[in-house]
Amino acid sequence: MAGTRTATLQPADEQPPGARPKVLLAPVTVTPSKPLTPSHLKGLLWADVMYRATKPSANVTFRYSHTTYHLTEQTLGFWEFLDRTQGDTDYSNLAETDIGELYVRYRAEERAPAADDLRPYAEAVESNGFVHPAGARVLQLWAGHYEQLGLHDPGLLAHQPPEFGLEEMIEDLLAAGLGLDQRDVGGPVYLDATRYGLPLRQIVTADGRPNYLACALRELLPLAPRYDEIAVLYDRELDPDYQLLERVLTHKGPTVHRVPIGRVPIDGRITSARHGGWHDHTVDTLLRSLVGSADPAALRLGMRLYFIAALGPGQQESFRHDLLRKSLVRAEQLLSRAEQAPEAGYDALPELLQRHRRGHTHIDPYRLTSSLLSRRGPAPARSLLTTVSP
């Protein structure tokens, strides 16, 4: 059962000593209730390249805690739905799509879960890191995808609670003049950044249920003062909340950069995974279709070239199998050319990567991966390619 290991928050290891900037990389998490889709994969690869490429010149912490966000109604409600409708189902051998279909059924329910129904689950998460067997199964399957794709694992199966409890987070906001607590009169808790021209945003219901933004604040508020820069990566549809998050974290001292990433349309349409329709486009299906198309190194690099450089930060381009396969071919060519190119040592990497910044410490994954597709100039060194893909 997930939740039995606790991950220790540490900066990237094996860094050269010296005065190096401290960077916190905090991507939005994917709820472990459905299969990974191309849109999810795009975000995961984007964060992975940013992490790898920024490490040569900064101390980077990759914070990605499912534990923190299990407390949202989206997750706890699904767990309550499963226990109410599926009983003692053995989830250990189910596929992601099987669990995803149950999640679609849950989201289609008109019945909203009551606070009393969710409270035991929330208490179990807070007290001992409980993860429902369905969620634990999905995370286990994702760990296999991470390994095949060469993604840095920030602790998928680890218990990583936030440093702030809910009340500590609320008190911190109130002390900074950024909170409005109306629970004493039967109301909710708001994030209040109105003095900066931003709207009030409810973050905790009157009966104590936190939303995703409240969980993010519990996670990031205590960490923010320890870093020079924070980069938050998220779905473009969450931009209003991340504008608020940027303002609050900036109040703690660091420079905060928002990195919105567009979804990947399928046949010209962008739909949420909660509605289903992903069976032919899950990451598992995609990886199975590519077995034998390229060796592991070319597969990992080609995935990054396609989902970052080819698709770009927006969401105009639909997913195309033919262009993905071309990216794998291009990756094989790059790796072959790199074998013949002069090698750049680790100390030379910061200078090679410098051009892929935009007034910040972290490396822009799009600028970096796009540069690899240029047919002008010398072949990239192998060490540069490994900042993109292991």
The overall pTM is greater than 0.75: yes
Buried b (16+ CB within 10 A) or exposed e, 339-375: eebeeeeeeebbebbeebbeebbbbbbbbbbbbbeee
Residue located via tokens 């989902």: 307
Identify the band that residue 14 occupies on the pLDDT scale cut at 50, 70 and 90. very low
Contact predicate 3/130, CB 8 Å: yes
Q: Over 70: is that where the pLDDT of 26 sits?
A: yes
- All CATH 3.40.50 domain ranges of the chain, comma separated, are 22-163+223-385
Please report the pLDDT score of residue 274 as a whole number. 67
Q: Could you read off the pLDDT of 315-335 as tens digits, one per residue?
A: 999 999 999 999 999 999 999
Angstrom distance (rounded) from CA 52 to CA 349: 11
Angstrom distance (rounded) from CA 121 to CA 70: 9
Please report the pLDDT score of residue 358 as a whole number. 80
CATH topology for 22-163+223-385 is: Rossmann fold (3.40.50)
Helix axes 212-220, 239-250, angle to 10 degrees: 30
Q: Could you read off the pLDDT of 78-116 as tens digits, one per residue?
A: 999 999 999 999 999 999 999 999 999 999 998 888 999
Q: Give the helix, strand, coil percentages of the chain, each rounded to 5.
A: 50, 10, 40
Selected residue with higher pLDDT from 15 and 56: 56
Buried b (16+ CB within 10 A) or exposed e, 64-84: bbbbbbbbbbbbbbbbbbbbe
Nearest to 214 by CA among 113, 74, 78: 74
Angstrom distance (rounded) from CA 61 to CA 183: 35
Average pLDDT (147-175) is 97
Whole-number average pLDDT of the chain: 91
